[in-house]
Amino acid sequence: MTDYMEALKEPTTSNGKAPARNLTWSRLDAEGFKVNWDSAINSREGKIGIGVLVRDHQGRVIGALHANNPLKGSPFDAEAYGVLLTAIFCRELGLKSIYLEGDAKQVVDLLKNHKLNWSLGGCLIGDARQLLNEYSLWSVSHVLREANSAAHYLAKDALLCSEDLYDIEVCPSCICTIVTKEMLYTL
């Protein structure tokens, strides 16, 4: 319980104030690909939607995935399944250097450390980590929902799809406005 309570605390700087939080998507400072993922749940129908958006270091869309699957599990399980699909999608794109961002702190934290977690979500994250370890470089960071909104809307859109959709070097129409705004803010 102590670890959980610590995670809820706001980080503070040396002056005791909380640092400014990044509320918008930001470009990479280095070569590579930034990959945002999110999951959405429709518990009434027992399915989840996964949204993945891959952009290069200049912010250009390289690929997007909207996928849905029947899954009766927790939000943690849905986000864990999302990060596994993200790792698979990036491998299919042939990417070698990726910087993952997601708004599910519990998933990000478990992906970063190597503690065993035998829950469904924990096993999915273990599988994702095993795939990611095949990359030449990967990292994962927790971001707020506001900085992950394109992936969030892709995930919500995925709930409406009858099949998985892959967009390569094309920005999906459901998030064009969001991506355009983010590009303007990061110039």
Residue 22: predicted pLDDT: 56
CATH homologous superfamily for the domain 29-185: Ribonuclease H-like superfamily/Ribonuclease H (3.30.420.10)
Q: What is the DSSP letter of 86?
A: H
Across the chain, mean pLDDT equals 87
pLDDT band at 18 (very low <50, low <70, confident <90, very high): very low
- Domain map (residue ranges) of the chain: 29-185
Closest to 179 measured CA to CA, from 141, 140, 136, 147: 147
* Residues 106-131: tens digit of each pLDDT: 999 999 987 888 999 999 999 999 99
Query: Which pTM does this prediction carry?
Result: 0.85
- For residues 29-45, give the mean pLDDT: 92
Q: What is the DSSP letter of 101?
A: E
* Residues 69-86: tens digit of each pLDDT: 998 789 999 999 999 999
Angle made by CA atoms 155, 70, 100, in degrees to the nearest 5: 40
Give the CA count within 13 Å in the CB-facing half-sphere of 160: 5
Rounded-to-integer distance, Cα 123 and Cα 50, Å: 18
